[in-house]
Each structure stands twice: as C-alpha cells, then as structure tokens.
Chain A
Amino acid sequence: MLVLAIESATPVAGVALVTESKLMAEHYVDYGKTHSQTLMVMVDQLLKGAGLQLGDLDALVVSAGPGSFTGLRIGMALGKGLALGAGLPLLGVSTLDGLALQAGPCDGPIWPMLDAGRGEVYTCGYRLEEGRPERVGEYRACRPERLVSEWAAEGESRVVVLGDGALRYRQLLEASPGLHLVWPPLPALLPRASSLGTLAVDRLRRGERGDAVSLVPVYARLSEAERRLQEEGR
C-alpha cells in the first residue's frame, strides 16, 4: 500500500510517500512561503524523484484539522483535486494525531498543541496503549493556562508536549510549578507528513475509505462572525 501525504495545518509544508514498511520519501519546508506556492511543486518533485505517477498510489491523505483554517483548506483542496483527477481515495487525518505519534514511546500523557492565535492552542490529550497513542477527549481550542490547571487537577506531573503551540507558550508552560515537561527532539517537534501517511496506511488497512467529495476540515472553532453572533444572542 502506497500513500501520498500532504501536511498543511501549520506554517510547515510537508509531503511524504509512505508504505506499510517504508518511508519512501519526505519533503519538509518551514521557511515562510505560502502553501499555495510550495505544496504542489513539492508533490511533483517527490513523485518524479521516486519515479512514480499518481496512478501508482493507493490513496492520498491530507491534514484534516484542527489547524490554520486557510492552511488546512489549501492542502485539502489540493488533495481533493489530485484525488478527483486520479480517481483515488482521499483520507483526512488530524495533524494532532500525527504529532502524538511523533512523541514516540514515552512516559505520561502526550499533549500536541498547534498555535491557534488569540492566546489559544488547538489540542487534545493522548495516552499510549500498546505503544500507540490513543486520543482522550475531543479536539478543541483552549488557553494553555487552562491545560496547565487541568493537568494539575488530574495530578499529572509529567507531560509530553510538542507542536508550534507548545513552542509559542513554552515559557508559560515551563513556569508551572510541579510540572515536568518532556520535549521530543527537534525533528519530531513540528508536523511531519510522514506521520499522517503512517496513520492513513493503518486506517486503510482497517478498511477505511475516504473520498474527495465529502471531506471537510475539523475547525474546532467557530468563525469570528459566528462567535460574535452567538454572543449577541446570549
């Protein structure tokens, strides 16, 4: 099974070719160009480098959110176009799920965080079960201060954190008394397309089938206009 993964939920643009047993190729950039300029070029280079065509793939996977609204839609729309034109299944996998995988084997809960602006992070907790991170709870946007108090309330003293949200609020997190933070090494700190690909291969093997028609991002946050309307209604 061969999957092309596209990661676009944060300023990192990534593409990867992944099978059950092999990370065949990966391209990762984080130098401030827009995903619209980089992603399609990277897909083309990756396929050409591997001597492959879209028709050789079994499926495509894109980041499903949460994350940057526009970033998610660029990757997903590109994935939809590729899947539609090549007649391939398209899966959405959460970038938070992918990041949790990057934490590797570790003690304690894993909390990937993506910078959500407005003093918040997109996040979700994970616990290892038989070596694999299993999600605990829903994807959500919340203030890092709140996570810290939740961890304290649950008696968590050792937490694995990663993602650009964790980096942004590093000082705040590290200033929490009685909390020991574990930071994965640099190559695992930010979203990798290969993580999405790995999770997608698992899901495809379990019989999951995605399609380009119905896939939409998980935003985990209302648009600003809807939020305001809701507040006025209150």
Chain B
Amino acid sequence: MGELILGIETSCDETAAALVRGGTEVLSSAVQSQVDVHRRFGGVVPEIASRHHIANIVPVVLQAVDAAGASLRDIEVVAVTNRPGLVGALLVGVSLAKGLAYALRRPLVAVNHLHAHVYANFLAHPHIELPAVCLVVSGGHTSLAYMPAHGVFEVMGETRDDAAGEAFDKVARFLGLGYPGGPAIEEAARGGAPGRYRLPRVLLDPQEYEFSFSGLKTATVNLWRRLQSEGTASVNDLAAEFQAALVDVLVEKTVHAARHTGVRTVLLAGGVAANSRLREALAERAAASGLQLFYPPLSLCTDNAAMVAACAHHLYLRGETAGLDVNAHPAVKTL
C-alpha cells in the first residue's frame, strides 16, 4: 500500500496539489496554470504569481483530495516544494503546508523542486535502475547531475547564464512567436528546417558539464537582424536552427556525462523535456551509446505536485522531515 502523501507545489506559475501513494501511485494531480495570466507580460511576474497562488491554493488542494476520493484526514504526509523558485510564490505553498500538516498532526517534508522534476520519471517508470545521470531543463534551470541512489544528487554542471527554457522564451519573444517560448519555437520549427541557417553550438570546455546559452541567443538575434535587412528571412527556419543548436548542446553534454560516470541510465526532466526534438535527439544518441533514456509523460514534465509527493516519499522513508520553522529558499540553484 504505502503512505498517502499530499504534494504541494507553488514555486513558479503553477499552483498544484496531488495525492500519491507509496511514491509511485498517483491518485490525483490538480494543476492550476497561470500561463494565460502572465502571457501579456511576456514572462512570469513574481508578485502576480504569488497573488494567484494565495487565491487558488485551497481550491486546488481540495480538488486534489476530492479527485482522489479521499478526505483530508486520510493524508499521512504533507510535502511541499521549498526551494528553489520565486520566494513569494514558494512561501504561499510552504506556509499553507506548514499549517495543514500541523493541524492534521502529520509530518511535513520539504522538497527541492529540481529533485522533484527528476522524480516525475519514477511515477511513469517505477523500476528505473540507479545510478543515473539526470538532465533537468526548464524555464529556470539547466542542470546535469549524477544520481547514485534515491534522493541523492551530485551536481556535475549547470548553466552559467540563461536556463534553456529562458533562452527559448527570450528568442521567441524577440522573433514575435509568443509565450511561453518553448512550445512557440517548437511549433515554428516544425514549419522550417535546421541547417538552412547556421548557429553556433556552444560547448564551452567539452570535458566540463557547464552550459551557456546567452551566446546562442545573441547569435540568433544578430542573424535575424541581418537576414531581415537582406530581405530573405524565414522565421521558421531560424526557429528550427535555434532549437537544433540548443538541443545538440544538451544532448552532447548529457551523453558525455553518462559515459564519464559509467551509468547505463539517463533521466530527462523539467518543462523543456516536453520538447519533442530534445526527446528524439537524446533518445537516438542514448540508444547509439547503449544508454537507457527515460523521460516523463508530457503532463508530468511541466510543474506539478505529483512529482513533489514522489520525491518526498524517499525523504520521508529516511526520516527527513521539516520543522515548524522551515523556510523557503529561492536561490538554491544546484540540484
């Protein structure tokens, strides 16, 4: 059976709650997305996100409880994302979870959002073999980590500047393709072809696992300006080349990290893991290198609370519960 965990997630612009049993069985997963709210600002506005979280959090929790056919009293553990993310947004979830756990007399578990993203994989594939190399790519993060055992993450490399999703957003905004940038660029790229234009693959030191995407962003902007002045610009072809360049770097570094650590398993996670070119390219390279690649279903790639509960399961088993003074930590960048 396993324990029933309520997961709560408010680190960015999704208010989410989920009930998960034993770390793998998702009984319900409610997500209230604010993507339409932030669209007119071209990105997530922290204060507006927090305002929506405080308005939506209880309805979302109740929705998750109802959808699971459970009652609040059935919850055995309350889990919440407390790092990293927007501090005001995190604090809504952390404070609510704290009060709820206290009132229900249940343990509270504080979860790292990036670890939670990786655990979306275990919800879909419970029997993944560890150790693994994890690539977490989202609007806020680009990290490669070595995962020797459950709940243990050793950072191998991160982005020095823009996160992958951030680069998608910025380039999409510049090209007038809309928000959020990931799906917008993927859509445009489908109507074009990579290779018609040429953008750099910024690998930095090929032996290291750090990323940098601001150079690619600048190169894209400069190329577009030049193409437009020449009057030959195809936004779809440029989107396709930008996407390919970014994906190539992610794939290259990830496969290299897997070889270097000698793992057989690669876990892809985060909002950008929804990108189909990334999934396909990484699957192809992984297969060619004898690696097993896992990625979550689309519904679990973006922020949700089922992954928070799944991650909390292992912390709970190890007795890693949080005190009444647990705080939110916005700037924990590492896995």
Contact = CB atoms under 8 A, between A and B. Distances in A.
B181 interface: no
A36 interface: yes
Interface of A: 34, 36-41, 43-44, 54, 69-70, 73-86, 212-213, 216-217, 219, 223-226, 229
Interface residues of B, number: 37
Contact of A38 (B94, B102, B325): B325
Contacts of A41: 324-325
Pick the 5 closest A-B CB pairs, nearest first.
Answer: A81-B99, A85-B103, A77-B95, A81-B100, A223-B47
Contacts of A84: 58, 61-62, 72, 96, 99-100, 103
B interface, over-half SS: helix
A40 B50 contact: no
Contacts of B328: 36
22 contacts: A36-B95, A39-B95, A40-B102, A69-B51, A76-B95, A77-B95, A77-B99, A80-B96, A81-B95, A81-B100, A81-B101, A82-B100, A82-B102, A82-B103, A83-B103, A84-B58, A216-B54, A223-B48, A224-B47, A225-B41, A225-B45, A229-B40
A43 B95 CA distance: 13
A216 B55 CA distance: 6
B251 interface: no
Nearest to B75: A85
Nearest to B94: A36
Nearest to A88: B103
B104 interface: yes
A79 B45 contact: no
B58 to A, nearest CB: 5
B8 to A, nearest CB: 9
B96 A78 contact: yes
Interface string B37-62: 00011000101101101110111011
Q: Which of A39, A82, A86, A213 has most B Cβ within 10 Å?
A: A82
B98 interface: yes
Interface in B66-95: 72, 87-88, 91-95
